[in-house]
Amino acid sequence: MTSLLTATSSPAVDTRPAEAAPRRRGGARLEWIAVHSLAIAAALFFVLPFVFVFFTALMSDQQALTRDLWPRPWQWDNLSTVWHSPGFLTWWKNSIMYAVLGTALTLVSSIPVAYALARFRFRGRNLALMVVISTMMLPPQVVIVPMYLFWARQLGLSGTLWPLIIPMAFGDAFTIFLLRQFLLTIPKEYVDAAKVDGCGDVKALVRVVLPMARPAIAATALFQFFYCWNDYFGPQIYASDNPGAWTLSYGLESFKSLHQTNWNLTMAATLLVMAPVIVIFFFAQKAFIEGVTLTGVKG
């Protein structure tokens, strides 16, 4: 990737049309060079940490402590050592379960709420919206003490991930807000037309609105999936005393203590936790960028 980026710095490929007047041509070229050099410097800052992690993950444990940057020899075994180390596969499964179930439940419960907040006129709608935004902005630690007592003492569910998954069947504020923002942009006429054709509200939502909202739904699904995948606080509160219920994000940290000075294995594990996120990103880049833009929204 680096070589690809460096290739772009060559000013010889400036094929800009004559829009730049002869007098300013030198200035424009200088700006072009400055912009692309800066971009390369920035790219190094963003990419090098990944490169270091990748190389270190494939070193021997002694070499990981040296100044070397290039693995010699390449220990691809590190990845399988990590993969087969105790707990890792279980944490992987738990992460998938948490993320997939959590995302599905969130979408099913949040879509109708977002639709109602975007389309229906009713008293208290603005108040409802304000409560949604407030809960979205609330640090999870604010209500954790009573929530823990509720799930652990009343329902005996500590040591599992259910206290994190079940609430997602009751709507997620961030998802509701984001979907609502998008649904507002769908012209009302589409729903009205469907109703003239005899569709009820549910049918109009499922048949007409949802297909049009697919990009927003994809974006919120990705965000929710990543939220679950990355969650550290939740598993720490509810599952810390049962390693069988840990997720990758939570287990990864204990991995470091297991392999005290083995930075190579720790970085290999880090790589394996990052990998799914990176793979998903490359497949769904567009949905992501649109989703992030949606959060900042419509200036």
Partner 1 sequence: MTTRNAVPATSYTLQKRRRRDGLRTVAFLSPWLVGAGLFFGYPLAATVYFSFMKYDGFTPPTWNGLDNWTYVFTDYPFFWPAMRNTLWLVVVMVTARVVFGLGIGLLITKVKLGAGWFRTAFYLPYLAPPVAATLAFVFLLNPGTGPVNHLVGSVGLPQPGWFNDPAWSKPALTLLALWGVGDLMVIFMASLLDVPKEQYEAAELDHAGPWQRFRFITLPNISPIVLFAVVTGVIQTMQYYTQPLVAAKVASGVIGRPGQSFEPGYPEKSTLTLPHLVYNLGFQRFDTGSACVVALVLFGLAMAFTAVLMRRGSGFLSAEER
155 is an interface residue for partner 1 by CB under 8 A: no
Residues from 17 through 56 that contact partner 1 (CB under 8 A): 31-32, 35-36, 38-39, 42-43, 45-47, 49-50, 52-53, 56
Shortest reach from residue 7's CB to partner 1, in Å:
8
The Cα 276–Cα 99 span in angstroms is 12
Tokens describing residue 139 = 């640090």
Separation of alpha carbons 137 and 156, rounded Å: 29
CB of 47 vs partner 1, minimal distance in Å: 5
Among 20, 79, 157, 184, binds partner 1 (CB under 8 A): 184
Q: How far apart are CA 112 and CA 201, in angstroms?
A: 10
- Between CA 277 and CA 274 the distance in angstroms is 6
Q: Tell me the per-residue interface mask from 257 to 276 with partner 1, x by CB under 8 A, - otherwise.
A: xx-x--x--xx--x--xx--
Burial grade of 225 (CB within 10 A; 0-12, 13-18, 19 or more): buried
Question: Site map for partner 1, 113-152, x if CB under 8 A?
Answer: x-xxx--x-xxx-x-xxxxxxxx-xxxxxxxxxxxxxx--
Task: Rule CB under 8 A: choose which of 62, 80, 242, 295 binds partner 1.
Answer: 295
The minimum distance between CB 31 and partner 1, in angstroms, equals 8
Burial of 10 (0-12, 13-18, 19+ CB in 10 A): exposed
The most distant pair of C-alpha atoms in the chain lies apart, rounded to whole Å, by 78
Nearer residue to partner 1 within complex by CB, 160 or 236? 236
Report how far residue 50's alpha carbon sits from residue 199's, in angstroms, rounded to the nearest whole number.
Answer: 51
Span 64-123, contacts to partner 1 by CB under 8 A: 64-67, 69, 109-110, 112-113, 115-117, 120, 122-123
C-beta closer to partner 1: residue 67 or 84: 67
Termini Cα distance of the chain: 35
**Binding to partner 1, residues 214-253 (CB under 8 A):** 226, 229-230, 232-233, 236-237, 248-250, 252-253
- Compare residues 38 and 193 and give the one whose CB is closer to partner 1: 38
Amino acid identity, position 44 = L
Total Cβ atoms within 10 A of residue 76: 12
